[in-house]
Amino acid sequence: MRRTPVAMPALTALALLTTACATTPRQPIDGTRQVRATVETTPVATGNDAADDPAIWRNAADPARSLIVATDKKAGLHVYELDGRQRQFLPAARLNNVDLRADLQLGGEPAVIVAASDRSQIDRAQLALFLLAPASGELRPLATVPVGNGEAYGSCLYRRAADAALFAFVVDKDGNIVELALDLSGRVPQAKAGRRFKLGSQSEGCVVDDRTGLLYVGEEDVGIWRIDLNAGADPRPVAFARVDDRNLVADVEGLALAPQGERGGWLIASSQGDSSYVAYRLDDGRPVGRFQIVDGAVDGTRETDGIELMLGDFGPQFPDGLFVAQDGDNAPDLQNFKLVPWQAIRAVLGGSP
């Protein structure tokens, strides 16, 4: 989120990382490659930094009819088709980050669960849950569950590989992270707060690798942390990538995964300070490369907040995967989301995944 930086107290946990301040976006770092979006969504209906974060639902039966769920953090949730047209708008509270998991059961029935951080109360974090109907693509509210004190900011879902249990993680503006165990046995989901983690300053973007049980969280002025969620693991956050103005430029915003095999692949991060994106190897955190989305069939992106990526067949336009990025400067129109074929990004970064 674009904002005026404030000084943060020094913390021992931050000694591994340097900080940088996000001001006006700078020119991309030398060596940043260029890709072009092929589709853009209908703009959101409200202005002044309203669009924020997308999630992708892949229609396995007809991949070209997959959907994107995205937040207008002042008005609700948009559902877009892959040609960018709005299929549905669901008015809701101030929802910031959104994530989803498919192939679930809710009350014994097939379900796609959508979760979004609810910022409607700045002193009481909440998580809003929705049902995306696989047949019709219609989105409807399910429940809003309490998280705890603080203003909900980031959120992401985790389906544990060992038993398919579903969890949500909610990140508040002060860097507190709360784990929620979601019970889908009834028709209305229930949530129980579990573990808590802490970062030193304002944090938002997060993603969990369901294969490995590793949670990645972006501390906006500092860098990306990794937290091992597996039983018996050390729960302390470990530095994964730092804001260094050579690869990653503050603010760190959206995070997305490009998995490969059982444990490999890349983590993609929105480097908002220079309107670019950085890919890191999951195994050792080494940078793979950087890219920006420039003008082409549709305009490029600037100052991106949320991103999402899903590999696989999404039809003729996106045969290998789909990357979606919020565009923070879609002038003269209001903000929207840009769609980029994964093969275009993979080609400029060089090789797998």
The CATH number given to 22-349 is 2.120.10.30
pLDDT at residue 27 above 90? no
Q: For the residues 95-109, what does the mean pLDDT come to?
A: 96
Specify the residue for token string 């509210």.
141
87: helix, strand or coil? strand
- pLDDT confidence of residue 25: 63
Q: For the residues 43-62, what does the mean pLDDT come to?
A: 95
Buried b (16+ CB within 10 A) or exposed e, 25-51: beebbeebbebbbbbbbbbbeeeeebb
Question: What confidence tens digit (pLDDT) does each residue in 273-321 have?
Answer: 999 999 999 999 999 999 999 999 999 999 999 999 999 999 999 999 9
pLDDT at residue 111 above 50? yes
pLDDT at residue 117 above 70? yes
User: 16 near 242, Cβ under 8 Å?
Assistant: yes
Q: How confident is the model at residue 21 (pLDDT cuts 50, 70, 90)?
A: very low
Q: Find the range with the poorest average confidence among 12-16, 194-198, 240-244, 268-272.
A: 12-16
Question: What confidence tens digit (pLDDT) does each residue in 171-205 have?
Answer: 999 999 999 999 999 999 999 999 999 999 999 99
Q: What are phi and psi of 349, to 5 degrees?
A: -85, -20
pLDDT at residue 10 above 70? no
Q: How confident is the model at residue 2 (pLDDT cuts 50, 70, 90)?
A: very low
pLDDT at residue 34 above 90? yes
Q: Which of 211, 150, 209 is nearest to 175 (CA)?
A: 150
- pLDDT confidence of residue 22: 37
Burial class (CB in 10 A: 0-12, 13-18, 19+), 190: middle
Question: What confidence tens digit (pLDDT) does each residue in 210-255 have?
Answer: 999 999 999 999 999 999 999 999 999 999 999 999 999 999 999 9
Q: Which of 271, 256, 50, 241 is nearest to 156 (CA)?
A: 256
- pLDDT confidence of residue 29: 86
Specify the residue for token string 């070209």.
64
pTM of the shown model: 0.92
Q: How confident is the model at residue 16 (pLDDT cuts 50, 70, 90)?
A: very low
Burial class (CB in 10 A: 0-12, 13-18, 19+), 184: buried
